Structure 1
């Protein structure tokens, strides 16, 4: 249920009695005090009670008792971030303001706890051999290795579920029966799962061509099945849609520290000396948003990696964007990554049932 926050907006000159009537009538437990569209205060029935105890008359204006520094949030925050803020501050509602502190909405804790279903398909790549993790992967696909007591693939699916996604497509190749026997059609996990089997590895882009014709038309989220992350997938998807992107690649900030002085020059001449520099790059995080028309344009069973697909679509004049992610992210590709994942999983809040 979306709250009709406009009904709890009042002016600073409104009487305390009128504000109390607004609070009681709208059942949101708050009134938002606005002056020239800007949020200047917030009032609850608790503020009213404290005012009465101080001897302030109900006919007095609300600016005598209102909280002049209410906790507010920017509209750019995700639902999950708003929930965390409200829970940490122990508040039930949060005014939403723009960069000019103008009121643009009100979010309640109840709203953030209700997960809205999203029809976007999620395509998880789970067909790799996991050779760098042998012997652990001799009889087990890498995404099915257990981290924190359950397969990484299950943790990934649970994270998507927490953001309202329920339509899953899983690409298999190596030991597909291990994955299919565990998840089945998804009923036991309250999701829908369709399997896409690669007879020969086609690359991340090529696997897209195997998706069924009845795939939902909404933009698709694609992710490698060996990634441990608490990325807010809804936020990435909203960016893709808002920017009218055709293909969006999530990227990570990656630093390389050179432990020596770097000498730059032309021929034998030194032009610059940089002592122990740090170079920063954006690297591919293995998470993509792909619009439906791109999937439909792909040739069936043609090997294609994702960077090549992006370059191809750029050449066709389509809009390809990058989305930097700053949340926890770990590609569990090596034994030391696997050990790190075992430690990290308990502090991330993503290993949910």
Structure 2
């Protein structure tokens, strides 16, 4: 796809909806949506992070883009030097910047990748692959769950290849149950073009406790359960975490269920309203986190700690915990029905 086509796909009129913006972000390679008025002037931009924050604010897919866009985006102008545009990208920690004429019409988009070159990400990825997979027995009686095949590849190989496609190349895999099978299959990761080291839990330490076994880290770490499949953009997740200046960023999914009865609202013993079969919505943990190095440095080595306890400790210290809602494909392969669904999904997604 050439730049002109991608730019055209990234431009939407002001009367568009959030669903239109999501579609444009998925189609265009530029990872930004430009909103224009009837005079074809730029009036706002929408990034992946804006979509996530809109979901957290319970904006519906039919919400107007005017409600979720950034109304005062950083821009450059025709004739600005490359060094000036680089400075704007660096100072504002941007991935892209619109280039405008003096009357605010769009000429193009300059990107960090184009000006600085596409580089590998040095942030470590920590994958939890030590569980017993008891709910998938008998499949896991002789094979660890991360090595069960979805389509033609093991679950864990799909995960590593997904991260690699976004520029991640340093992996730590926590192993316990049938650890040698996982190590024998992936080795040092060279066959996949990545570097893999293994963290061996002599006894299960919980997700938070396993983090304490990592060597010194100085950048945010992405932590993920080794039985998940998703099409989330991990580079956008990392950028969101840094933008939020969070100690921990949790990926979440919107979960809804319908109460099968009429729900009574009341004050004391007086009925104030009755709602017939209401739909309740919650954000639930999606098993993917970004953790700042300062949090990891505080952990006690080899001490059992679950992620809820780690997050609650951060909250007690008044550290910022952010949510990153996933609207892309996501599947937790926890039960046999999930594994069967993954096989059919593999045709379309993997």
Q: What TM-score do you get using the length of structure 1 for normalisation?
A: 0.70
Residue 255 of structure 2: SS of its match in structure 1? Answer: strand
In 2: Cα distance, 1:313 partner to 1:70 partner = 44
Give the count of matched residue pairs. 271
**What residue is the counterpart of 2:307 in the other structure?**
306
Structure 2 CA distance for aligned equivalents of residues 303 and 271 of structure 1: 47
Q: Residues 237 and 180 from structure 1, CA distance in 2 versus in 1: closer, same or farther, beyond 3 angstroms?
A: same
SS of alignment partner, residue 204 of structure 1: helix
Give the superposition deviation at 1:260. Answer: 1.6
Match of 2:154 in 1: 151
Give the SS at the match of 1:174: coil
Partner of 2:200: 197
Shift of 1:264: 3.2
Residues 157 and 70 of structure 1, relative CA distance in 2, 3 Å threshold: closer
CA contact (8 A) 1:115 1:162 kept: no
CA distance in 1, matches of 2:8, 2:24: 17
SS at match of 2:342: helix
| 1:138 aligned residue | 141
Q: Report the equivalent of 2:325.
A: 324
Q: Deviations over 1:261-284 (max 9, x none)?
A: 122335554332110110000000
Residue 207 of structure 1 corresponds to which residue in structure 2?
A: 210
Written as runs of structure 1 = structure 2, the 5 A alignment for 1:26-65 is none
Bigger CA radius of gyration: 1
- RMSD of aligned alpha carbons: 3.1
Which residue number corresponds to residue 163 of structure 1? 166
Change in CA separation of 1:206 and 1:81 when aligned onto 2, cut-off 3 Å: farther
Question: How do 1:211-222 residues align onto structure 2 when only pairs under 5 Å count?
Answer: 211-213=214-216, 215=217, 217-222=218-223
Query: Structure 1: which 5+ residue stretches go unaligned?
Result: 1-27, 31-41, 43-68, 88-95
Change (3 A) 1:159 1:81: farther
User: CA separation of 1:83/1:263 partners in 2, compared to 1, >3 Å: closer, same or farther?
Assistant: closer
In 1, the alpha carbon distance for the partners of 2:169 and 2:239 equals 17
Question: 1:249-268 counterparts in 2 under 5 A?
Answer: 249-266=250-267, 268=269
* Residue of structure 1 equivalent to 2:119: 116
Deviation, structure 1 residue 116: 3.0
SS class of match (1:253): strand
Do 1:120 and 1:221's aligned partners in 2 also have CA atoms closer than 8 Å? yes
1:173-202 Cα distance to aligned partner (Å, 9 max, x none): 100011000000111111000100111111
CA distance in 2, matches of 1:296, 1:134: 37
> Who is 1:84 aligned against?
27
Structure 2 counterpart of 1:280: 281
Query: Hey, what does 1:12 align to over in structure 2?
Result: none
Deviations 1:237-256 (A, max 9, x none): 10111121111111110001
Mapped partners of 1:29, 1:273: distance in 2 = 55
Alpha-carbon distance in 2 for matches of 1:72, 1:163: 20
Report the Cα offset of residue 71 of structure 1: 4.3
CA distance in 2, matches of 1:300, 1:86: 42
State the TM-score, normalizing by the size of structure 2.
0.71
Partner secondary structure for residue 158 of structure 2:
helix
Task: Give 1:84 deviation, angstroms.
Answer: 3.5
Match in the other structure for 2:132: 129
Cα gap change, 1:71/1:310 in structure 2, threshold over 3 Å: closer, same or farther? Answer: same
Answer yes or no: is 1:337 the counterpart of 2:338.
yes
Preserved contact between residue 116 and residue 163 of structure 1 (Cα < 8 Å): no
Aligned to 1:93: none
Query: Contact (CA 8 Å) 1:250, 1:322: kept in 2 or not?
Result: yes
Please give the alpha-carbon distance, in whole angstroms, between the structure 2 residues aligned to 1:29 and 1:151.
Answer: 36
Q: What is the rounded CA distance, in whole Å, between the counterparts of 1:264 and 1:311 in structure 2?
A: 31
CA distance in 2, matches of 1:224, 1:115: 28
